[in-house]
Amino acid sequence: MRWTDIVRELEGDVIYRGTDFDQTEVRNIIVSDLMSDVLTTDALGPLLVTALASEQTLRTADLVDAAGVLVVRGKHLPDTMKRLAQELDLTLVRTRFSQFHTCLRLGRLLEGGGARNA
């Protein structure tokens, strides 16, 4: 799935659009609020889904070479987080959906089932 699919399906708000936004193909997803757990992943280019709205999230995503970060529950993102996303050139998107509903919708996209009411 591509970022455009993700943003459309999750009614996402693109905070920062990385330079590879249009070319990125997301095949792996990590869902966690514990960045220490994220660091143990061996997934290639994962999308990091989290409710943790902090710079630590972006720094961790950068370390695991994530495709970007998706923050759930419409959390307010501090300006420092927005600036760091730009500095790291890491796509940052926010959605109003809960982590659970975000995962349901992303799962359907990955399966190729398209959008359904969650």
Which tens digits make up the pLDDT trace of 5-18? Answer: 999 999 999 999 99
Average pLDDT score over residue span 49-62: 98
Write down the domain spans for the chain.
Answer: 3-111
Q: What is the mean pLDDT of the chain?
A: 94
Query: Which among 2, 21, 7, 23 is positioned nearest to 90, based on CA atoms?
Result: 21
Superfamily of domain 3-111: HprK N-terminal domain-like (3.40.1390.20)
Indicate yes or no: pTM above 0.75: yes
Give yes or no for a contact between 115 and 105, defined as CB atoms under 8 angstroms apart: yes
Q: What is the pLDDT of residues 15-54, one digit of tens each?
A: 999 999 999 999 999 999 999 999 999 999 999 999 999 9
**pLDDT confidence band for 117 (50 / 70 / 90):** very low
Strand runs labelled E in the chain: 13-16, 29-31, 47-50, 68-71, 92-94
